[in-house]
A and B are shown apart, each in its own frame.
Chain A
Amino acid sequence: MSYPTNVKIIKLPCSGRAEIIHLMKAFEEGADGVFVAGCLEGDCHYQTGNLRAKKRVAYVREMLDQVGVGGERIVMYNLSAGQGPRFAEIAREMTEKVRQLGPSPIRVAKQKAAQSVSKEAA
């Protein structure tokens, strides 16, 4: 199973563990996109973890639109632990989507700021 190397995996016991602030932080640190891979709806070991994650993703999406980063950079997917190939497919799909959107404006701003600092130093 191969998927794009640019995808960094954060392992959680359940997608319901991903809080709003965790998702926000990823973008604040410069992530171009985030996808939350939860179990199939109705199949959550903790009953409603993936449904909570879905709501939080929707909330963060709205927040990203408000701050100008763009809500389309966060997506929730549902798949089972046995669907490795599907995971790889999603990773490719998401990577392609983010590539089309271009780099996150936060990352661009951070790079610009770093460049101006290094110019000053030089």
Chain B
Amino acid sequence: MIIAKPKPIEEIAASIENRNKVLVAGCDGCVTVCEAGGMKEVQIVASALRMFFKQQGKDKTIDELSLTRQCDRPYIEELQERINDYDAVVSLACGAGVQFLAEMYRGKVILPGVNTCFIGVTEQRGEWTERCQACGDCMLGSTGGICPIARCSKRMANGPCGGSSNGKCEINKEIDCGWQLIYERLKELGELDRFERPTDAKNWSTSRDGGPRKVIKEVSQA
């Protein structure tokens, strides 16, 4: 899922300082699971903002709502009737949701309430780690199910590098060396011969190097 973390209240408050009617809009998708932007967080952020402005003697309307998903038009269309009641919307969805709202409601100020971080997993409650960088050309099949793009700090396709020490990465002793993990896993699988041939040059045109991306599945199109 997409992992995000809440922006500091002061930052959100500064962004709506000159707006009187604000809607805090959550998303029931990924950001709910990573506890950054679901209905619970919407209530907390809205309550904090109301207190922030109340004690400054500013009387603002700050309402709350959460949409099933902010990355699908039918769900954000649900705002159609209400959105004109507000001067601005603080979206607690990931960057995709914020942008989709802004695209649909062109005359409305849409502000981000979270920082979108990465595609990752829940290690345990309250802890999320990165697993995928959406490079568009998955090589997990030849790396023991461990991604060298997401897990190696240098995104090396052939590793480990000289900075790997006792299984840890040179940038931080708490970070596992991705290629050490790949080596251990392939050893367990009895596939160490994988290391006898280098990985072919990676085609980065499917990643960000090819500009903004698009996926089309014709059979599903209307």
Contacts and interface: CB of A to CB of B under 8 A. Distances in A.
Nearest to A66: B9
B54 A110 contact: yes
A66 B10 contact: yes
A109 B57 contact: yes
A108 B10 contact: no
Contacts of A110: 54
A25, A106, A109: residue with the most chain B Cβ atoms closer than 10 Å: A109
B12 to A, nearest CB: 10
Contact of A69 (B40, B43, B49, B55): B55
B54 A63 contact: no
Interface residues of A, number: 20
A63, A105, A112: residue with the most chain B Cβ atoms closer than 10 Å: A63
B142 interface: no
Interface in B32-74: 40, 43-44, 47-52, 54-57, 59
Nearest to A104: B55
Interface in A95-118: 105-106, 108-110, 112-113
Given A28-B47, A28-B51, A109-B54, A66 B59 contact: no
A20 B44 contact: yes
A110 B53 CA distance: 11
Contacts of A20: 40, 44
A106 B47 contact: no
Interface in A2-54: 19-21, 24-25, 27-28
Contacts of A67: 9, 48-49, 51-52, 55
A2 to B, nearest CB: 32
Interface in B173-203: none
B8 interface: yes
A66 B8 CA distance: 8
Contacts of A28: 47, 50-51, 54
Contacts of B48: 24, 63, 66-67
Interface in A59-106: 63-64, 66-69, 105-106
A106 B55 contact: yes
Contacts of A24: 43-44, 47-48, 51
Nearest to B54: A109
Contact of A21 (B8, B47, B49, B50): B47
Nearest to A113: B59
5 contacts: A20-B40, A67-B9, A67-B55, A68-B56, A109-B57
Top 9 closest pairs, chain A to chain B, by CB? A105-B55, A67-B52, A24-B47, A66-B9, A67-B51, A21-B43, A109-B55, A109-B54, A67-B48
